[in-house]
Amino acid sequence: MREKSAICIAGGGSTFTPGIVLMLVENQDRFPISKITLYDNNAERQDKLAEACAIMLKEKAPEIEFNWTTDPETAFTGIDFVMAHIRVGLYAMRELDEKIPLKYGVVGQETCGPGGMAYGMRSIGPVIEILDYMEKYSPNAWMLNYSNPAAIVAEATRRLRPGHRIINICDMPVGLETNMCSIIKDETGRELTRNDMEIRYYGLNHFGWWTQIQDKEGNDLMPILKKHISEMGYANNSPEFQHRDPSWVETYTKAKDVYALDPETVPNTYLKYYLYPDFVVEHSDPNYTRANEVMDGREKTVFGQAKAIVENGTSKGNEFAVGVHASFIVDLACALKFNTHERMLLIVPNEGAIENFDPTAMVEIPCLVGSNGPEPLKIGDIPTFQRGLMTEQVCVEKLVVEAWIEHSYQKMWQAITLSKTVPSGKVAKQILDELIEANKDFWPELK
């Protein structure tokens, strides 16, 4: 009988929370749960989802103790894992992150370019705060952080809390690997899951490349994927893809042009924002961005489902969806709890894994995960093209963190200017000044 774990979900008011709770319930055979506690500083928002989750848990897993709170001591005492996915400023601030840069003809995106930096400046303090709460009240717990923008948050935790029990993760490669399985099914009729594939990958968060994808028998899957991606990007016939929002359909399709720049690898879709920023701006609606899609889509859907569950007193007929990232979190928690040495893509200090790259950079690479945490696998040298792009981007991330630590206007201006998405220092300053005004309730005062 496997030992049960007590979980705190930080960001209890997130639209992803019900899916994570449901995933934990559905995976109790491999990851048994004794207690789930939701924590958020927005009580009203959390209450709406927590009440629905309480009903769902009573029906599906009444043996699990479930509660929710805004009190840190209550939330973080006696737990084994913190699963953190906070959004500081909610979608209202994401909307500004996207729309302010677009006013100046610059990519407006949640984690890339000036919008991602703005979000990072809001996120650093609260993520550090959650880590400190965990270590104060449950010092042996692990924090599994998938709060965006993951690259900036990871660099901040490396600088400010080195060696602490936090692992920064992202579901984007997992989602793309699931998508690859759909492509393989389209092209060959063969059904695989991402766990049937062995991969080699390197990069930064939302900024990487697959160099090897094969099945468990060692058969090379790259030729099938490369041919498909060169013609259609990541578009495929799966129901999941067919029901994606228009912005995601465009992103997946544009991957064919990203792939064309280096046909030796298979790219992460987010590279389009850096390699084709002019295309992105031309195809963006400055009055209706991805944030609006989410607010009109997932936000309304999840809170509508929660309301219906509470009103009906049952979750039957209103099942929450389980997201890709939820399963990845359970995989990681199992590896840490039960020392499985599972191979996973994580964001970790480079420390020589990529030999010809900054050893202090937070890179996204395969790791073996056991009870002592992640053990990064060796990548070796990487090509000049990728190294050049990654060097520029990692310097942007480091400058943002330095700007937050030092309250430095100069370094934040430098960070935005250095971004491949921004054409000049003049434009960078215009965007920065407007972002400062929009974020005055969230950022440290820059001097």
Catalytic residues: 171, 270
Closest CA to 19 of 315, 331, 320, 297: 320
Distances (CA, A) of 254 to 249, 279, 280, 299, 389: 9, 10, 10, 26, 19
Q: At what angle do helices 300-312 and 17-26 cross, to 10 degrees?
A: 60
Q: At what angle do helices 425-438 and 409-418 cross, to 10 degrees?
A: 120
**Please, what's the b/e burial string for 215-228 (b: 16 or more CB within 10 A of its CB; e: otherwise)?**
eeeeeebbebbbeb
Q: Rounded CA gap, 414 and 426, in Å?
A: 11
**Please, what's the b/e burial string for 108-141 (b: 16 or more CB within 10 A of its CB; e: otherwise)?**
bbbbbbbbbbbbbbbbbbbbbebbebbbebbeeb
User: DSSP code of 444?
Assistant: P
Question: Which of helix, strand or coil describes residue 67?
Answer: strand
186: Cα separation from own chain's centroid? 27
Between CA 428 and CA 234, with CA 280 as vertex, the angle to 5 degrees is 135
Q: Rounded CA gap, 377 and 216, in Å?
A: 18
